[in-house]
Chains A and B, each alone.
Chain A
Amino acid sequence: KQEVTQIPAALSVPEGENLVLNCSFTDSAIYNLQWFRQDPGKGLTSLLLIQSSQREQTSGRLNASLDKSSGRSTLYIAASQPGDSATYLCAVSLGAYSGAGSYQLTFGKGTKLSVIP
C-alpha cells in the first residue's frame, strides 16, 4: 500500500526566505506526482504536476523535483511571501489508467507553511 509522508508538518519562516518542503513515498512505481496548495477551509489548487519520466517542473517561484528511484520529491519556494502561507499537499498516482483504482491519488498529511511579514 502506497504511503506518502511530508516533512515537516509545519514550518514558519520570515518573509523573503527560500524554503524546501519534502515529500516521500513508499512505492516508486508512480505515474505522476502532484503538489497542491490548500488555504484554510478551502479546496485544493494544483501547483505543479511531474510525470514519472520527468525530473522537475517549474512555475514562477516554485520548483518541484522528483527522484522516483528514491521515492522523494521536493517543493522549493523562492523568496517566500506572506501570501504563500497555506498547507501544501503532495500526492502520487499509481500506474497509468488501467481500470479500477488507477486514478487514485494518495495524499500526504501536508506541510502547513506560515510566512511571517
Chain B
Amino acid sequence: ETGVTQTPRHLVMGMTNKKSLKCEQHLGHNAMYWYKQSAKKPLELMFVYSLEERVENNSVPSRFSPECPNSSHLFLHLHTLQPEDSALYLCASSQEASPRGYTFGSGTRLTVV
C-alpha cells in the first residue's frame, strides 16, 4: 500500500449504469487529484481538489462528477459513460509545498460495455 487506497480495483459497467470510484489517503495531504490513463496516451489530469475545494476541472465531460467530502476522501461518480471512457483511473495526493511530491494509488481499471 502506498498510503493512497483506491476501490474498486476493477469495474465493468454498462453505458446506462451509475457507479462511483473511491479514493482514500492516509498521508495527511491537503490536495487530491483524479487522472485518466488511456492506452498510448500520457496521463491526463481530470480534477484537482485543494483543501476540499475544486480548483481545477480540465474540460472533463459532465458524465464524470467528482466529490471531495473531506481532505482524506475523493470520489468520482460515473453515469452514462461511453466505451471510450474505458481506462485506468488513478487517484493521487500531495501536500502543498512539500518536497515529497505526489503519491498515487493503484488505480481502478474501468471497462464500459
User: A residues bordering B, Cβ < 8 Å?
Assistant: 4, 32, 34, 36, 41-46, 49, 51, 89, 91, 93, 96-97, 99-101, 103-110
Interface residues of B in 60-113 (CB under 8 A from A): 88, 90, 92, 94, 96-97, 99-107, 109
Total residue contacts A-B, CB cutoff 8 A: 67
Distance of A37 from chain B, by nearest CB (Å): 11
Q: Which 8 A-B pairs have the closest CB atoms?
A: A43-B106, A44-B104, A100-B55, A49-B101, A107-B43, A107-B42, A43-B107, A97-B96
> Are B103's CB and A42's CB within 8 A?
no
Contact residues in B for A106 (Cβ distance below 8 Å): 42
Decide: A46 near B102, CB < 8 A? Known: A41-B109, A96-B97, A104-B48: yes
* Chain B residue total in the interface (Cβ 8 A): 29
- Chain B residue nearest to A39 (CB atoms) is B106
Instruction: State which of A43, A103, A110 has its C-beta within 8 Å of the C-beta of B94.
Output: A103
> Are B105's CB and A43's CB within 8 A?
yes
Contact residues in B for A107 (Cβ distance below 8 Å): 42-43
> Are A43's CB and B2's CB within 8 A?
yes
- Whether B21 sits at the interface, judged by CB under 8 Å, is no
> Are B42's CB and A45's CB within 8 A?
no
> CA of A44 to CA of B107 in the docked complex: distance in angstroms?
9
> CA of A106 to CA of B11 in the docked complex: distance in angstroms?
26
> CA of A97 to CA of B96 in the docked complex: distance in angstroms?
6
Contact residues in A for B97 (Cβ distance below 8 Å): 96-97
Interface residues of B in 35-68 (CB under 8 A from A): 40-43, 45, 48, 50, 55-56
Contact residues in B for A32 (Cβ distance below 8 Å): 99, 101
